[in-house]
């Protein structure tokens, strides 16, 4: 996974655990694409201090993931859901013994599709 995408996911999952300053500098650099010099000017500290803060924040986020594994679990669950979605799409009405069973299956598929779309948006 590309570094920027990985960092964005880590921030999505663990951002609330960062300090306000870490979140702010992270947002300015990764979300708003400001340079280190631009952030340093806004924050009234040196460019080196911004660099160090970003590197420390990256390390903190990576440590959270190493300990908690939420991003890894998210991807694993997403893969399982994708497999369930594909398997359910292979079922046809004739596979069911009653029309009510077919309707339940269609409702389950709709929920899976909704969850999958929401997971893809994150």
Per-residue pLDDT reduced to its tens digit, 67-118: 999 999 999 998 998 898 888 888 888 888 899 999 999 999 899 888 878 7
Per-residue pLDDT, 47: 96
Per-residue pLDDT, 121: 67
Show me where the domains of the chain are located.
3-68, 72-121
Q: Cα 6 to the chain's mean position, in Å?
A: 8
Choose between 51 and 115: higher pLDDT.
51
CA distances from 4 to 1, 15, 18, 55, 119 (A): 8, 15, 18, 13, 18
d(Cα 7, Cα 58) in Å, to the nearest integer?
A: 7
**Which tokens sit at 82?**
């994708």
Q: What is the band of 12 on the pLDDT scale with cuts at 50, 70, 90?
A: very high
Q: Tell me if the pTM is above 0.85.
A: no
**Average pLDDT of the residues in 35-40:** 97
**What residue spans of the chain are helical by DSSP H?**
3-14, 20-26, 36-43, 47-68, 70-89, 99-121
As its CATH architecture, domain 3-68 has: Orthogonal Bundle (1.10)
Output DSSP code: residue 119.
H
């Amino acid at each position: 996974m590309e570094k920027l995408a990985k960092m964005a996911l880590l921030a999505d999952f663990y951002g609330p655990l960062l300090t306000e300053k870490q979140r702010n500098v992270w947002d300015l650099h990764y979300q708003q694409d400001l340079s280190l010099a631009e952030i340093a000017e806004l924050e009234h500290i040196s460019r080196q201090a911004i660099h160090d803060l970003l590197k420390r924040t990256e390390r903190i986020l990576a440590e959270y993931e190493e300990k908690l594994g939420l991003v890894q679990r998210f991807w694993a669950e997403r893969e399982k859901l994708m497999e369930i979605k594909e398997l359910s799409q292979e079922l046809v009405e004739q596979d069911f013994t009653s029309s009510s069973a077919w309707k339940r299956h269609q409702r389950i598929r709709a929920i899976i599709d909704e969850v999958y779309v929401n997971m893809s948006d994150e």
